[in-house]
Amino acid sequence: MFYLHTSNQTERLSEQLAQVISERQTASLYSREVFLIQSRGMERMLSQYLADFFGAWCHAAYFLPGTFIDYLTEATTKRPVPRSFDRDVLTWRIERILRNVSDPKFRVLAGYLSEDPIELKRFQFARQLAILFDQYQVMRPDYLDNWLQGKTITHDQYEQWQQLLWIKLCEDRPGELHRGERIKKIISVLYSDVDLFDMLPQRLYIFGVHTMSPLFLSALAALADRIDVHLFLLSPCELYWGDIESCRALVRRKLKRIDSGSYTESEEASYHPLLASLGQQGAHFQEMLLGTIDYSEGSESFVSPVIEGDASLLHRLQEDILRGCQEPHADHKSVTKMDNSLMMVSCHSRMREIMVLKDYLLSWLYSDPSLQLHDIVVMAPDMQKYSQLIPPIFEDLHYTISDRYSRHRNGYFETFLQLLDLASSRYGWSDIMSFLERPQVYPRYGMTVADCDRVKNWVVAAGIRSGISSEQRQNDGLHATGDGTWRAGLNRMLMGVAIDSSEAVDSILPFAEIEGSQIEILGWLCQFIDDVEQAFADFTISRTLKNWSELFKELCGTLFADQEHPALLELYRFLFELGDDFSVFHDETVTFDVVRSWLRTTAEASNAAGFLNGRLTFCSMLPMRSIPFKVICLLGMNEGEYPKNDNYAPFDLIGKQYRLGDRSKRADDRYQFLEAITAARDRFYISYIGQSIKTNKKTPPSVVVTELIETLSNFYGVTDCIVHHPLQPYSASYFDGSKGLFSYDEHYCRVASALQLESKNRETLWFSGSAASNTGTEVDLLDLASFLVHPQAYFVRRIMGIDLRPMVYLPDDHEPFEIQRLDHYMIDQAMIGALLENKEKESILAALQAESRWPLGVPGRLQFNRRVEDLMIFADNVASRNMGCLLSERTINLDVEGVRLKGEFKTCFENGLLFYRYANLKGRDVLLAYLYHLIAGKTPNIKQETHVIARDRLLTFRADMDRPDDLAFLVHLYLQGCQLPSSLHVEPAFAYAKQVISNRGRGRKSPLEVARKLLHSQIEKGYAAESARLYQDLGVERILDSNFETLCEDFVVPLWDYVLNCSEEV
């Protein structure tokens, strides 16, 4: 007998289920209760409820629709279930058949199977056909039967070749039944006189299923002839609504009646608008159920969600859907605004959606002590898009993320796919290092995280950019050069370990930064590259599925350390499936691209692991997951993303002729939204990206959310349904209560307060007092020199501990095609140094190219020749100073008016000090040279003559340029600059001095205005980030004040006056 139990609440259906189980005695203590469900999440919910109800619950069998058919097949035929028509197997069988299609009917496939890569396109096409034929087996079994009889149904051009392909599939496995035939066989056996008492369960409970194919429903009807079948159907409406029309159909019918003059208002539908627009799938199932099965009415328990004194908008909406009425009760019309039971939130990004959600969750948890984390579920159309954002935001709450792809929850899967993707790359240094740095890989090669960082520095410094070797580049159709490849870089490292030389040895420039125990790490790095190179070489050979499986398993054993890790065992399970299961049906060779595509698809399968485990649950919105929660939150309800569109392929015959019971992604999503509304017990929260992150322009939400808003407005008088949140989490509106927004984030509260304080005090400095300095009475020479280069930057970086400089520059994954401006300066300095050491031009070029600092080939050589000619002139100017030999480092320890100045000299020559820079002379060059000149005058055995050579000026400080008080002045200026931002702005100060001297002639500009203009330009162009941060909106007039002017007049102007007198222009 088939029993139908209905309710609008899953809890009531669970109670009815427990009651039915308790009333019926089992034939044996070992008899199992058998359940037919749609998702593993439903299995967990039922098990938990029944365990609570009975005190203990075990030995139950839960089947999904597909596995249930397999179960009935084995029970009725006593034979193992054939797998040749399963979707995954069909993919490989079809791929093999498509290799040899000579029939003229297959000519239409030329567009799908032509052009390279033809092997990959053929496999992808086979996968689409496998999905389609899998659906035909259950949704269109009559098509398949007629095709085998030589008949066609639709007479479509695509039907002919599909018919021929299906015949080939059946001829290839004669006698094996596909799923549709097995269901028909089951129905036939169930209606026969065959004794199946010991083979079938005593009862079947169907729970959480609200749609199925007509063929499957017929099988359940046949099964009900043998055993009791109980269908527990969740229905949002207590009325029969199988004949409900969609809103679009109602409008079309209304317009047609109006045009014919036969329309009357009495024909207006009386169903609730949300039931009509969202409930088509449930209505069709009711219609199928009524027309297919002769069922007996079981228990019926429809419960009004509204209790006495309850005025929540959510419960009133649920009650009206339950009653199926279009006009709400008179009492309901009093609702005029949204309440906390139903919320719609608009944000600028997915990250902001997560952040805003957390604040609301904390608010609900604080306000309701009975609410627990396991009472809350957060769903999204695709939770994968949020899975990386949730951990940093919800790190202080217990949560779990369900429905994640295998590759996202299994680190070994992701790592292995990363290796496979490398095979199609340029083998860039960052890509291969990223693979080595995976925690599943580097322990296998005896490394730690710190070792990986050290190796990365070696790789960059050794000039490794892309490519394994010159042979690999040649095989890939590229220029066969080894420069910048991994092999070239490793050869440099090994040569540097073997030979202590700065000159090339056998055309290999030694890399001398590896020594001692680091040599062992280098050995492991070489082993890693050997393993990766061998893998890439193996990937170029086509193999059978069996051989690919063996190769991949061997590769996992080579690359991964922990061979007993459960995640790695899961990867092995998939690889065994490839070699043991699929190879039976496909024995021809396939390319690497094909098997990688298969593995990617396998890795994107999701499961419900972590669903309902006592924590806050994040999961995807899947069909028939109608599990009740006190709070249901929906994220990502964006236009165009939900509900999904039904994109049928041109050759999909199901999409061309709709039948009752056909699955539709769009209908699934619409009904899922309706179920989510009715499953929320206390709160229903909707979030979407409704504001542009660039322009703040508002965008509409998903069409189902729009329909909900229209219903609330038209039938409940609710306005202002959506709460629009600001882009920044530190917006003042979260903390001043001006817009009804709130936040529990203490950090952003402090930021908002600081910003408000800043806006009030823009005309004053944001700091007061002085910084605590630990310089005492001892000053390091390097610190003093760094201060004089940029006093404000020194204060921010060294005193405040804030580094505003960009992150460390990492080179691109290819050889340099052009040299950036900053790189040009550094390379120029290196080339000048090499020319001064009398190195050959060829060796200089070879060294630069080995380090991947200079373009390769003929263009690089021509560019080098042009550049070196200019640099040789500059190098000759430097050499003409006749400075003599470079002396060893000199240690200084000076007493400067009670302050001890310590450090080392590194630029001392026999005939004085030398500074050169292939750039125009700047104020900082003068200050640094003058500092060392002053120190040289107080240090024995150092000649006090300092030469500064720039592109535009040659400067010489002689011994007579030594004002005894200047060194003390600079030291005390440094000490003051360690407590407060210094008044010395180096380049503006020298601009001031230049204008003062210019005004002695024909100049008429204000020196102070010139200095201010330069500082303003530096800040605007980002050249003085530290000054901009220190002074913010204070204005250059306030920054360069009288203290600056006095400093310039007393120190900088006299210094520049001397520079002009003892220097010459180039």
The distance of Cα 298 from the centroid of its chain, to the nearest Å, equals 49
The average pLDDT across 771-790 equals 83
Check residue 580 and give its pLDDT: 92
| Distance from C-alpha of 691 to C-alpha of 131, rounded to nearest angstrom | 38
Q: Is residue 755 part of a domain?
A: no
- In 3-state terms, what secondary structure has residue 297? strand
pLDDT given for residue 334 in this prediction: 56
Rg of the chain taking only CA atoms, in angstroms: 39
Distance CA 578, CA 795 (A): 62
Task: Tell me the C-alpha distance between 864 and 831, whole Å.
Answer: 10
344 band by pLDDT with thresholds 50, 70 and 90: very high
> Helix, strand, or coil here: 1003?
coil
d(CA 127, CA 144): 19
Span 1027-1043, mean pLDDT? 84
C-beta of residue 455 within 8 angstroms of C-beta of residue 521: yes
Q: How far apart are CA 920 and CA 901, in angstroms?
A: 30
- Average pLDDT over every residue of 196-222: 91
Q: What is the pLDDT of residue 155?
A: 83
Are 854 and 777 within one domain?
yes
In 499-638, alpha helices (H): 518-539, 545-559, 566-576, 592-603
Q: Which of 567, 582, 603 is the last residue of a domain?
A: 603
Q: At what angle do helices 841-850 and 857-879 cross, to 10 degrees?
A: 120
In a domain, 739, yes or no: no
- Name the more confident of 292 and 308: 292
- pLDDT for the residue 40: 84
User: 3-state class of 1021 per DSSP?
Assistant: coil
Number of domains present in the structure of the chain: 6
What residues have CB less than 8 Å from 885, skipping those under 6 apart? 909, 910
Based on the domain organization, do 282 and 165 belong to the same domain? Answer: no
Checking if the pLDDT of 983 tops 60, the result is: yes
Strands (E), 749-865: 778-780
Residue 301 has pLDDT above 70, yes or no: yes
Our separate counts of H helices and E strands in the chain read 42, 21
Q: Rounded to whole angstroms, how far apart are CA atoms 230 and 4? A: 6
CA torsion sign for 701, 704, 705, 708 is: positive
Of the candidates 124, 143, 176, which is a domain's last residue? Answer: 176
Q: Are residues 921 and 990 in the same domain?
A: no
* Band of pLDDT at residue 608, cut at 50, 70 and 90: low
Residue 775 to residue 973: CA distance in whole angstroms: 13
Distance CA 1021, CA 1035 (A): 15
In this structure, are 252 and 392 located in the same domain?
A: no
Token pair of 731, please? 């917006």
Cα torsion 568, 573, 574, 575 to 10°: value is 90
Predicted confidence at residue 328, as pLDDT, reads 56
Between CA 904 and CA 825, with CA 782 as vertex, the angle to 5 degrees is 105
- Give mean pLDDT, residues 878-888: 85
pLDDT of residue 1035: 82
| Co-location of 203 and 252 in the same domain | yes
pLDDT tier at 482, thresholds 50, 70, 90 = confident
Single-letter code of the amino acid located at 77: T
> Which CA distances in Å does 1031 have to 761, 1019, 1028?
11, 10, 6
| Whether residue 542 sits in one domain with residue 570 | yes
Interstrand relation of 722-724 and 342-347 (parallel, antiparallel or unpaired): parallel
Q: How many CB atoms lie within 10 A of CB 177?
A: 20
Q: How confident is the model at residue 180 (pLDDT cuts 50, 70, 90)?
A: very high
More confident residue, 610 or 840: 840
> Under DSSP, is residue 550 helix (H, G, I), strand (E, B) or coil?
helix
**DSSP conformational letter for 582:** G
Is 744 among the domain residues?
no
Amino acid found at 856: L
Judge if 578 and 721 occupy the same domain: no
Q: What is the mean pLDDT of residues 410-422?
A: 93
Any idea what the Cα angle at residue 341 is, between residues 17 and 741, rounded to 5°?
Answer: 145
Task: Please count the residues of the chain.
Answer: 1066
Q: Are residues 975 and 997 in the same domain?
A: no
763 or 109, higher pLDDT: 109
Instruction: Domain of residue 139: give its range.
Output: 87-176
Strand-pairing partners, residue 405, are 606
- What does the DSSP 8-state code read for residue 495? H
Q: Domain of 47: which CATH number?
A: 3.40.50.10930
Asked whether residue 9 is domain-assigned, the answer is yes
Q: 128 in helix, strand or coil?
A: helix
User: Are 872 and 941 part of one and the same domain?
Assistant: yes
Do residues 833 and 914 both lie within one domain? yes
Q: What is the CATH number of the domain that holds 887?
A: 3.90.320
Indicate whether 335 pLDDT > 70. no
Residue 894 has φ and ψ, to the nearest 5°, of: -110, 150
Separation in Å, CA 1034 to CA 255, 669, 1030 = 68, 56, 9
Nearest alpha-carbon partner for 714 in 343, 250, 330, 328: 328
pLDDT given for residue 395 in this prediction: 93
- The verdict on 275 and 356 lying in the same domain is no
Using DSSP's 3-state secondary structure scheme, residue 886 falls into strand
Residue 715 sits in a domain whose CATH number is: 3.40.50.300
Last residue of a domain, one of 701, 728, 755: 728
Give the pLDDT score at 1036: 86
Residue pair 593/120 in contact by the 8 Å Cβ criterion? yes
In a domain, 212, yes or no: yes
- The pLDDT assigned to 398 comes to 93
| Residue 114 confidence (pLDDT) above 90 | no
Which of 179-193, 321-335, 920-934 shows the lowest per-residue confidence on average (mean pLDDT)? Answer: 321-335
Contact 781, 892 (CB under 8 A): yes
Amino acid at site 631: V
Distance CA 674, CA 668 (A): 10
pLDDT band at 1066 (very low <50, low <70, confident <90, very high): low
Q: What is the pLDDT of residue 863?
A: 85
> Is there a contact between 202 and 280 (Cβ–Cβ < 8 Å)?
no
User: Residue 618 above 90 pLDDT?
Assistant: yes
Residue 330 pLDDT greater than 70, yes or no: no
Work out the angle at residue 98's Cα, subtended by the Cα atoms of residues 85 and 157, and round it to the nearest 5 degrees: 90
What is the structure's pLDDT at 92?
Answer: 96
With cut-offs at 50, 70 and 90, classify the pLDDT of residue 884.
confident
Specify the CATH number for the domain of residue 516.
1.10.486.10
622 falls within a domain: yes
| Amino acid code (one letter) for 58 | C
Say if CB 813 and CB 806 are below 8 A apart.
no
Decide if 880 contacts 852 (C-beta within 8 A): no
Instruction: Judge whether 1060 lies within some domain.
Output: yes
The residue to which tokens 């002919």 are assigned: 160
| Pair type for strands 890-896 and 899-905 | antiparallel
Which residue, 316, 340, 378, is CA-closest to 678?
A: 316
The phi and psi torsions of 549 (rounded to 5 degrees) equal -60, -45
For residue range 710-739, what is the model confidence (pLDDT) as tens digits? 999 888 888 888 999 999 999 999 998 878
Give the HSE-up count for residue 183: Cα atoms under 13 Å, Cβ half-sphere: 23
Amino acid making up residue 308: E
- C-beta of residue 172 within 8 angstroms of C-beta of residue 79: no
Return the pLDDT at 325. 79
In a domain, 736, yes or no: no
**H/E run at residue 435:** helix 429-436
Same domain, 815 and 871: yes
Q: Whole-angstrom Cα distance, residue 667 to residue 651?
A: 21
pLDDT tens per residue, range 784-815: 999 999 999 999 888 888 877 665 566 776 77
Q: Do the Cβ atoms of 730 and 751 come closer than 8 Å?
A: yes
